[in-house]
Amino acid sequence: MRIVKEAEEAVSASRNHLVFAYYVTGHGFGHATRVIEVVRHLILAGHDVHVVSGAPEFVFTSAIQSPRLFIRKVLLDCGAVQADALTVDRLASLEKYHETAVVPRASILATEVEWLNSIKADLVVSDVVPVACRAAADAGIRSVCVTNFSWDFIYAEYVMAAGHYHRSIVWQIAEDYSHCEFLIRLPGYCPMPAFRDVVDVPLVVRRLHKQRKEVRKELEIGEDTKLVILNFGGQPAGWKLKEEYLPPGWLCLVCGASETEELPPNFIKLAKDAYTPDLIAASDCMLGKIGYGTVSEALAYKLPFVFVRRDYFNEEPFLRNMLEVAAHILQETASGKNYASDKFSGARRLRDAIVLGYQLQRAPGRDLCIPDWFANAESELGLPNKSPTLPVEGRGAHMESYMEHFDVLHGDVQGLPDTMSFLKSLAELNSVYDSGMAEKRQMREQKAAAGLFNWEEEIFVTRAPGRLDVMGGIADYSGSLVLQLPIREACHVALQRNHPTKHRLWKHAQARQNAKGEGSKPVLQIVSYGSELSNRAPTFDMDLSDFMDGEGPMSYEKARKYFAQDPAQKWAAYIAGTILVLMRELGVRFEDSISLLVSSTVPEGKGVSSSASVEVASMSAIAAAHGLSISPRDLALLCQKVENHIVGAPCGVMDQMTSACGEADKLLAMVCQPAEVIGLVDIPGHIRFWGIDSGIRHSVGGADYGSVRIGAFMGRRMIKSRASELLSNSSSLANGISHDDLEDDGIELLESESSLYYLCNLPPHRYEAIYAKQLPETITGEAFMEKYSDHNDAVTVIDPKRVYGVRACARHPIYENFRVKAFKALLTSATSDDQLTSLGELLYQCHYSYSACGLGSDGTDRLVQLVQDMQHSKLSKSEDGTLYGAKITGGGSGGTVCVMGRNSLGSSHQIIEIQQRYKGATGFLPYVFYGSSPGAGRFGYLKIRRRLSSLKPKEQ
């Protein structure tokens, strides 16, 4: 219903006839085909539907013949540009979207608003065109989205890997989606954080027009002939199909073949407008690529589906998951379990969800009969199962629970509630394994974890926290002093090593070894909790021999390519990469198989070092299980190699050092040259730190972080060159510096600066006096390399075509090092308002210096401004103030803001108020980090063994 000024007018409007504007993305036929079924049901219910799409008209008109269907052919987005049928060109996709939807955005919005008003649309439905939601809001019309993925999720990965110029695209798309009322989420869905309210529905798939026998009769194919359909979304052009590719007695139906293409006699070319659901149902199997259309139709018509992996098709892991779940259901059905069929079809449910959801939004509080499936959709399909957390008051029960099931042979839980909870979850896994089948609502990863361990053998447990960057941030790679706080949230790893002959192998791993015919070989098997919250698979396995290249371990470059093969399993590099680093750096050889369970409560993408906590916990567990004595400092340095050389993220070392060497409620003070811990700084009792998540995903692997790092190293190279010039021409005037100024101490300073290794060793006054004006604001990579050859940074590569900021990027670490030193000194000074104000001012200065480098974000800027508003409010001043400063943290470009204030109840209330104000402005309720916990070195490791009594089934 159109939004009108008076609510009474909205309630009185007719419900019997509605006008829907249905926008369909320009990415593939899968979206259009599922829209057909929804549109058909809406029209059957008596409504008008205007479809806005770049897809060919026949896709809709061949399935629906009705005067209530209106087609408007307009392309408002471009989807993913494919280099071929199986590979997405990430950079080309971003550039095409920029050309299609960003450059003409203003005219698109104006045109769509005018058109929506002209047809008097009641509701805008989008699958899943971003600008449609914004246009609806501008026109005063409500909107909903119907999809299994959203473009902000898809393009975010493209930006990280290839499109740093187009980072703003992701935020614009997410903002557009945020205007819609709710998301109607289809199975096989990806994470879609831009949407706040979600309704889950079953598969939506095109209905059959003809039965199997009728289709085969028209094709003149008998029932005894085996038929495979080749369905690659209409893109197999150029493939060389040969007669011998098919077994005797088989025929192949080819979708999308070009008109001029000659096919062998056992291949049948289908017309461009062939109705594929009928052909799929008439076939015996399908060969193709994973997409929503092919997956849904293969499932609906119970057709075996052989698919080929697609590079950078980010929704593939989630659709593959749907296929695996369906296969599991079929397996259990064959074993005798009954599954009740749904009362309504997916399309019917979706139609009802759109109309019912629209009516609920239009008339809040109206007494409507809501179907059970609508209210219970979340519980029916199962909620994401996050890693367990435990309130402090629950310690006693959990202590008794884990002590009842495990003998602790080494180590101490140290009263940590999350560790007790993790041990309890381990104990529960045994019962899942014994039962032979997990409950319906349990995740795949828990089922995999249940069979991971031999419960009669020892298990090693380690723990490593994330960190809050209080001061130092991106200056670590320039050698700065940093102050870091280990947070309460942490990663736990449980590890068991077994002789290959005693190792519980997953079926596909067993098949792989059998195929090699080499007997039992050491295998690594990993289960990681939380896979449904990000684009990754829940399990990973490999033969440890894959790390060998001839007689020695493979290179880091080969390892990086190995883990990058499948985007859904790239996450395993953080964990498995620790094994290769130990092999290369310490000469360790792994003869036993390794089973490893990872459970982290450190949120990903929040700028609190989720990756470092995983690396440190994993390497700590491997070291403990193999009797390796590695100091926390050395372990952190080894973990940095994992991130720099195997993952490919150009981070400094402060994250790993804090996770490994930190202590609860203390700031780790470290000079990053390369990693000298100079002590632990007590946080005064009257001061407290919080972290507030902006909701904008941060990644240290992002192109902007890397470009700022490159800019800083460029600046260092230029400073060294300038110092050398001054030394070589000390008798002449150089930039206003006379010969007399260069005598004695001046010469020594220039000599030191000409060989400057860490940029932070240059004092701010020397930078301002000699070098600041000599550094350009920006420079192209090509121009820099022509003059200076190299920037001397082993973990970043200069792009010749990229324009890099230099002056701001070099200035930041020089001044940040000074700010951190001042901050550390102020923490130990006398308690006063001046102390708190000065500490806060240093935080603010750091924040704006990040922004000058290009590492700010709207969300973090808004949070810092809210802290300032709170600090300078009349109420705060009347109460002597409670909050004093805030700054963006870590790698920047989103993530978490660190806030400092008085350790008081009033401060906590103000943090909550900021949390609510941020939600009111953005729709996102930020997570608040508070509290601290020990680093991995202080925790050590637990060696546990399951008690034999707990392995026996209990009497009923």
Q: Point out the residues that are catalytic.
A: 655
State whether residue 803 is helix, strand or coil. strand
Amino acid letter at 564?
A: A
Q: Are 462 and 939 in contact (CB under 8 A)?
A: yes
Phi, psi of 823 (to 5 degrees): -60, -45
Distance CA 392, CA 931 (A): 12
Cα torsion through 769, 771, 773, 779, rounded to 10: -170
Q: Are 420 and 395 in contact (CB under 8 A)?
A: yes
Query: Of all helices (H) and strands (E), which one includes residue 406?
Result: strand 406-410
Distance CA 374, CA 372 (A): 5
Half-sphere exposure of 617 (CA within 13 A, CB side): 30
Q: Which residues contact 722 (CB under 8 A, 6 or more apart)?
A: 770, 771, 774
- Pairing mode of beta strands 226-231, 250-254: parallel
For residue 285, give both structure tokens.
Answer: 């199997």
> CA of 835: how far to CAs of 744, 830, 885, 929, in Å?
39, 7, 12, 24
Supply angle C-alpha 881, 886, 888, rounded to 5: 170
Q: Which residues are paired to 485 by β-bridges? A: 468
Supply angle C-alpha 789, 794, 796, rounded to 5: 80
Amino acid letter at 201?
A: V
State whether residue 161 is helix, strand or coil. helix
Residues 816, 817, 821, 822: is their CA dihedral positive or negative? negative
Distance CA 565, CA 720 (A): 40
Q: Are 730 and 748 in contact (CB under 8 A)?
A: no
Q: Are 257 and 269 in contact (CB under 8 A)?
A: yes
> CA of 600: how far to CAs of 386, 526, 538, 597, 603, in Å?
9, 14, 13, 10, 8
Distance CA 246, CA 221 (A): 16
Q: Which residues contact 719 (CB under 8 A, 6 or more apart)?
A: 753, 756, 759, 762, 767, 771, 774, 775, 810
Residues 748, 753, 757, 758: is their CA dihedral positive or negative? positive
Beta carbons within 10 angstroms of residue 507's beta carbon: 7
Amino acid letter at 205?
A: V
Beta carbons within 10 angstroms of residue 2's beta carbon: 18
Of 396, 386, 465, 873, which Cα lies nearest the Cα of 661? Answer: 465
- Region of residue 727 (phi > 0: left; psi between -120 and 50: alpha; otherwise: beta): alpha
Alpha-helical (H) ranges within 239-315 are 276-282, 292-300
Half-sphere exposure of 320 (CA within 13 A, CB side): 20
Q: Are 463 and 491 in contact (CB under 8 A)?
A: yes
Of 496, 488, 497, which Cα lies nearest the Cα of 464? Answer: 488
Of 387, 383, 431, 418, which Cα lies nearest the Cα of 597? Answer: 387
Amino acid letter at 323?
A: L
Residue that the structure tokens 């269907």 belong to: 69
Q: Which residues of 377-406 are buried (b: 16+ CB within 10 A; e: fewer)?
A: beeeeeeeeebbebeeeebeebbebbeebb
Amino acid letter at 632?
A: P
